[in-house]
Chains A and B, each alone.
Chain A
C-alpha cells in the first residue's frame, strides 16, 4: 500500500479511518519500514462552515503524529466544469463532495506524489451492521441478543431499539417474497420514487425485480448487506468517480479498506458486529 517512488500522499480528514491510516504510515516511516521516501498529509480547510469543519481534529492528528498536514481549500467548480467533464470523459464528474477534494490531489501531485491513500470504505465496512440482531435470532443466541438489545437501548432508547429489532432482526429473516412486498409498500408510502416520471418508475420496478431475483444465497444474513455495499450501483459509481478524478490529477488512488483482502475478511467474518467491535479490533491489531 505504501510502495512509491515519490512521497505517499494521505488524505487526513480528521475522522478515525483516514487519521489511522496516516498515523500508521507515519509510524512505519519512523521505524524505517515505509517503502516510500516520505508521507505527506493533506486536509480540506472548511473552517467556518459548521459541520464540515474538521480542522481541529486534523491538526490534533498532525501534532500527535509529528508530521505536517497541509491545509488545502476545497475545490469549488462551476457547473460548466461538470458539463465539460461529462463531455470530455463520457462519464459524470461525480458529486460536489467528491470534486471538492480535487485541490488536494493537484497539490499532492505538484509536490511529487504519484499516489494518494484515502480512508473511504471505513464507514461501509467498519461501522457495523445491525443485522447482528437477525444473526443472533437465526443462530438462537438469545443471551447475545438480549445483551445487544440492552446496549442499544441505553444508547438509542427503547422505541428506536424496538424499531431496529423489527427492521434488522425480524425483517431480514422473512421469506424473500414477503420481504420484497414490504419494501415495495414502504417505498410507496414514503413517496421515495414519486418524483420520477412514470416510464422511469416502471423501469425501476423492472430493475429491482431483476435484482431481487438475484437474491444471493448467503452464509449469514449480514452478508446480504455487505454484498450490497460491495456491488451496489451507487457505491461503484462513487468509487469510480473518485478514481477518475484522482487519475485525472495524475495520482493513483489507494483505498486500504476496499482491497480484496479487506473486503473478503469482512465478508468471511463469522458474525456481524456492531460499530465498537472493529474499533476494538483495530486497537489490538495495529502497532
Chain B
C-alpha cells in the first residue's frame, strides 16, 4: 500500500465536503417548499418548515438543514407521484419556477411502450426497496408473495426464467415495504424453479413465501430503464 499510493494521499487527514452541491438550487428549492407548505403540513409544522428553510438559507449552517430540506423535497416529489395514476404521474404539473427556469415547454414526444433493457445491475433494487434484506446480510428475505401485491404487470423476462414485474404492495404491506411502484419477482415463480431459494412464513398467512436475497442477487446483470417518452394523456 505504501508503494501503491502517494504519501500525500496516505497521510491525508482532511475530508472532502460536498455540501456545496446541496446549495446549487437553494433559492428555487426554498420557493418550491414554501409554496407547497400546505401540502407538507402533515409532515412538518409550519414553524418547523420556516425554521429549516431559514437555516438552509444561511451559508454558515450547511449540514443538517440541507439534508432535511432535500429529504423533504424528495419525499414530496415521490408522494406527488404515488398519489397520481401512472399515466398522470408523467404529466403532472411541475413546479412553476422549476419549469420556467430550466425546462422550456417542449412538444410532447410520441408514446413508446416502456421496455426492459439489460444494462447494469440492480442488486439492491431487485431485492425490494424497503430497507431490508441487504445482500451482505446472508439469508434475509423480502415478502415476494403475489398475494401481497396488486397492479401486477409483467414488464420483462429474466434469463433465469423468471418474470420481472412492476407492482405495488397492498395497503398493509405498503406500510412495511414501501408505497409506490416496485420492481421484482413473484415468489411462486421462484418457488417453482428454485425451491431452495424461497422460505415460507408460517406466522403470517399459511404458506406465504418470500424470495431469498440469493435469488435477487442472481438477478444481477439486469436493470430497468423505461423509455424516455411520455405516455399519452389519453392513457387511463
Contacts and interface: CB of A to CB of B under 8 A. Distances in A.
Contact of B17 (A51, A246, A262): A51
B66 to A, nearest CB: 9
Interface in B141-191: 180-182
B4 A286 contact: yes
A97 B102 CA distance: 20
A196 B98 contact: no
B120 A250 contact: yes
A195 B1 contact: no
A199 B42 contact: yes
A56 B9 CA distance: 10
B68 A195 contact: yes
A88 B224 CA distance: 11
A52 B20 contact: yes
A196 to B, nearest CB: 6
B8 A233 contact: no
Interface in A233-274: 233, 236-237, 239-240, 243-244, 246-253, 258-260, 262-264
Contact of A20 (B5, B8, B41, B135): B5
A211 to B, nearest CB: 11
Interface residues of A, number: 82
A20 B2 CA distance: 10
Given A90-B181, A195-B68, A57 B95 contact: no
Given A50-B20, A61-B6, A252-B121, A15 B15 contact: yes
Overall SS of chain A's interface: helix
Contact of A263 (B45, B77, B102, B136): B136
Contact of A91 (B51, B67, B129): B129
A154 to B, nearest CB: 14
Contact of B4 (A23, A82, A88): A23
Given A93-B74, A96-B22, A247 B120 contact: yes
A49 interface: yes
A283 B138 CA distance: 29
Contacts of B73: 79, 82
Contacts of B8: 56-57, 60
A282 to B, nearest CB: 5
A78 B77 CA distance: 13
A152 interface: no
A195 B78 contact: no
Contacts, number: 229
Nearest to B92: A87
B44 A247 contact: no
B9 to A, nearest CB: 5
A126 B45 CA distance: 38
A259 B22 CA distance: 29
B197 interface: no
Contacts of A82: 73-74, 77
Contacts of A249: 120
Contact of B51 (A49, A65, A94, A195): A195
Nearest to A54: B16
A197 B136 contact: no
B101 interface: yes
Contacts of A230: 134, 136-137
Given A14-B16, A78-B25, A251-B120, 7 more contacts: A15-B16, A19-B9, A60-B8, A80-B95, A96-B24, A200-B44, A248-B225
Nearest first, the 5 closest Cβ-Cβ pairs linking A and B are A195-B48, A78-B102, A90-B181, A247-B223, A252-B121
Interface of B: 1-2, 4-6, 8-10, 12, 14-22, 24-25, 28-29, 32, 41-45, 47-49, 51-52, 67-68, 70, 73-75, 77-78, 80-82, 89-90, 92, 94-95, 97-99, 101-103, 119-125, 129, 131-132, 134-138, 180-182, 220-221, 223-226
8 contacts: A61-B5, A64-B4, A88-B226, A90-B181, A93-B74, A252-B220, A252-B223, A263-B136
Interface of A: 13-16, 19-20, 23-24, 27, 46, 49-54, 56-57, 60-61, 63-65, 74, 76, 78-84, 86-97, 99-100, 114-115, 194-200, 230-231, 233, 236-237, 239-240, 243-244, 246-253, 258-260, 262-264, 282-283, 286-287
